[in-house]
Amino acid sequence: MVQLAGTVAHELNNIFTAVNGNLSLLEESLQHQPESTGMIQDILKTARRGIELSQNLQAFAGRQALKRVTLDAGPVITAAVCRFRSPQFREGIIELQLEPERCLILIDPAKFEELVEELCRNAIAAGGAAFRLKIAVTRETLTGEAEGRLPPGRYVKFIFQDTGNGMSPEVLARALDPVFSTSGRPNRGWGLAKCAGFIRQCGGDIFLESAPRQGTCVKFYLPQRG
């Protein structure tokens, strides 16, 4: 299913990109015809939504283009959560527990920052204005397969633990599905699916633990470098 999603996403992206490009050229040639340009702009919006959908599918399927470099996870985590400690979120608390040693990972910095911000936003949505979020980063050597999915080796382990509403078993079972919103809000539901696809594309994996009124723990591993 994931492989099929990646293949379909790639073809959709090619189609909508071509449509978007040709419509943009047509819009320029008809710039003195307001009625025509208005119709083209509406079609362009639809084409751009199609491109966004294809990109979300590629991220879910682990097929997005990445610019990976080796970096220390700690400073990136610290920088990414800074904006969630602004006056806008003054009632919330983010606690960081970072490994004192360097935690080197091979990652796309921009996509990794998006991942961290998505998990922070989820914690805020679950906990409200007075949210509580604990983020821990440690180095861990797995001698056996982690929950049957990760091979033995050296990893950097990330834990995002919130004290929000938590999820029922039924919601938890589908939390990583694309287009499924854990909050029940429309036009949502790609966040965790994209996070999972990105983590797996980088050689790691993600695990969720949650229960009603007991918060949610998002735990993921990425291979350690060096």
Q: Distance between CA 61 and CA 87 in Å, rounded?
A: 37
Residue 10 to residues 55, 63, 164: CA-CA distances in angstroms? 8, 8, 36
Q: Token pair of 224, please? A: 């350690």
pLDDT in tens, 117-157: 999 988 988 888 788 999 999 999 998 766 667 899 999 99
Q: Token pair of 127, please? A: 């906990």
Q: Are 103 and 224 in contact (CB under 8 A)?
A: yes
The pLDDT of residue 82 is 84
Which residue, 60, 86, 102, sits at the end of a domain?
60
Residues 159 and 208 in one domain: yes
The pLDDT of residue 186 is 46
Q: Are 184 and 191 in contact (CB under 8 A)?
A: no
Give the E-state strand segments of 80-119 in sequence order: 93-98, 104-107
pLDDT for residue 33 is more than 80: no
pLDDT for residue 187 is more than 50: no
What domain range includes position 51? 2-60
Q: Distance between CA 97 and CA 89 in Å, rounded?
A: 20
Identify the CATH number of the domain in which residue 158 sits.
3.30.565.10
